[in-house]
Amino acid sequence: MIMTAAVTGIRSVDIINLTFDAIDWINGEIRITQHKTGKTLALPLTTDVGEAIQDYILNGRPKSDLPFVFLRAKSPAVQLGRTLPYQTFNVYRKKLGLPKCTFHGLRRAVGTNMVISGVPVTTVSQVLGHSSIEPTKQYISLDSTHLKECALNLEGFMPEKGGGHL
């Protein structure tokens, strides 16, 4: 579940609603209808995400006929509640000594990393399933690496100590 969010940027509500028929193993794709926007989103099923989901299904998922991929581990096995992705993430985050972060922070990290890597904002918007590029713009301001490249070099413009005024 965490790997799926960290690699794809899928919202937690869409992860808890992820069904077996949304995963196209043959063509390597995850296809969902987003809860928030109602729009269909198709994302690549990367090797690491595919292997993590496969491992969970074969070794961690409680036995159930429910169509949802991820189920509550405690009996009875039912669909995950809305807060469980964050609670699960928080347990692992603490074990790793990572700073406090929301589950949605994984989604933001996917968008931010894509922007930092030079992926066009229009593509980032499509991958995150945003209805326009407006919500995606928030990820641009987090690109401090590229923002530093745009900063002006003020060397030679700064007055010496005790010298002139700006």
d(CA 131, CA 135): 8
Residue 89 lies in a domain: yes
Per-residue model confidence as pLDDT tens digits over 40-93: 999 999 999 999 999 999 999 999 999 999 999 989 999 999 999 999 989 988
Residue 157 lies in a domain: no
Residue 156 lies in a domain: no
| CATH code of the domain containing 130 | 1.10.443.10
Number of structural domains found in the chain: 1
Residue 69 lies in a domain: yes
Segment holding 56, helix H or strand E: none
pTM to 2 decimals?
0.77
In the chain, count of helices (H) and strands (E)? 8, 3
Residue 137 lies in a domain: yes
d(CA 1, CA 15): 7
Domain range enclosing 135: 2-150
Residue 155 lies in a domain: no
At a CB cut-off of 8 Å and minimum separation 6, what does 149 contact?
Answer: none
Per-residue model confidence as pLDDT tens digits over 91-150: 988 998 888 888 888 888 888 888 888 888 888 888 888 888 888 887 766 555 555 555
Predicted local distance difference test score (pLDDT) of residue 81: 93
Residue 21 lies in a domain: yes
DSSP 57: I
